[in-house]
Amino acid sequence: MKLKIASFDFTCCEGCQLQLANRESTLTDFLELLDIRNFREISSERLGDYDIALVEGSISRQDEVERLLKIREQAKVLVAFGTCACFGGVNSLKKRFSLDETIRDVYGEMTIETLPVRKISDIVTVDLAIPGCPVDKEEVERIMVSLATNSLITFPKYPVCVECKQQLNTCLFDLGEICLGPITRAGCNAVCTTGKTACLGCRGPAEELNMPAFIELIKERGLSLDDLHEKLTFYNAFEPLATDET
């Protein structure tokens, strides 16, 4: 039977959902696995009968909390879909500022409903988390096939550095940049570092990481611990490591 699947967006850019919709080379075959019940980027249908819920985005308002709880009640499998859902994402940067002051500076006297940003697992039980900003299309398709066939779902335990070396890239540390590739979970095929952009850790910590050794590497290269902390907190994916170690 096809997987009855629904996709929902909260505080996000919807880029993770678009990753699937824009993968035209495999979209037709991929959709053969799925019975789309609610997925705004793919279908205009809005059906409440679904088994798997893909939830993109972080939670930043009370109405989102209530909506998420209802989705959790319906879904047999709830998937945190993308970095914002898994960790809070770039939306978590608002925590650096006073909400009251920011609202006043931006909106004046307007009443704006907002809350500190939370990842969805702060509110409901998450059955499966697929990180990435955006998610990797091939990885999501592989996971959906595993769900459809009741196969084991696995994620790489090693860091992005392994994939980066497989691409024969020049190490960005050798170019004088801080890169989180040595401590970030692989699975993205080192797309950022292959484009000569330092990894910011959108996939969260690798299971086999050595944070003290990574801190020593930063010091040995004469790089800034403040810059390291900035990168670690960009996606909110390294809490509490960013607080404990830097």
Task: Please state the three-class secondary structure of 34-98 as a single string.
Answer: EEEEECCCCCCCECCCCCEEEEECEECCHHHHHHHHHHHHHCCEEEEECHHHHHCHHHHHHHHCC
Query: How many whole angstroms separate alpha carbon 68 and alpha carbon 85?
Result: 11
Residue 24 has pLDDT above 80, yes or no: no
Query: Residue 13 to residues 83, 85, 121: CA-CA distances in angstroms?
Result: 11, 12, 19
Contacts of 226 (CB under 8 A, 6+ apart): none
**Model confidence band, residue 2 (pLDDT cutoffs 50, 70, 90):** confident
For residue 235, pLDDT over 70 is answered with yes
Q: What is the pLDDT of residue 243?
A: 64
Domains and CATH numbers, the chain: 3-148 (3.40.50.700), 160-245 (no CATH)
pLDDT bucket at 215, cuts 50 / 70 / 90: very high
Confidence of residue 23 (pLDDT cuts 50, 70, 90): confident
From CA 234, how far away is CA 15, in angstroms rounded? 17
> What's this model's pTM, rounded to 2 decimal places?
0.91
Give the least confident one: 85-89, 110-114, 167-171, 231-235: 110-114
User: What pLDDT band is residue 81 in, cutting at 50, 70 and 90?
Assistant: very high
Q: What is the pLDDT of residues 108-137, one digit of tens each?
A: 988 888 889 999 999 999 999 999 999 998
Residue 45 above 60 pLDDT? yes
Look at residue 2 and give its three-state secondary structure. coil
pLDDT of residue 246: 57
Residue with the larger pLDDT of the pair 32 and 63: 63
3-state helix, strand, coil in the chain (%, to 5): 45, 15, 45
Percent of the chain with pLDDT over 70: 98
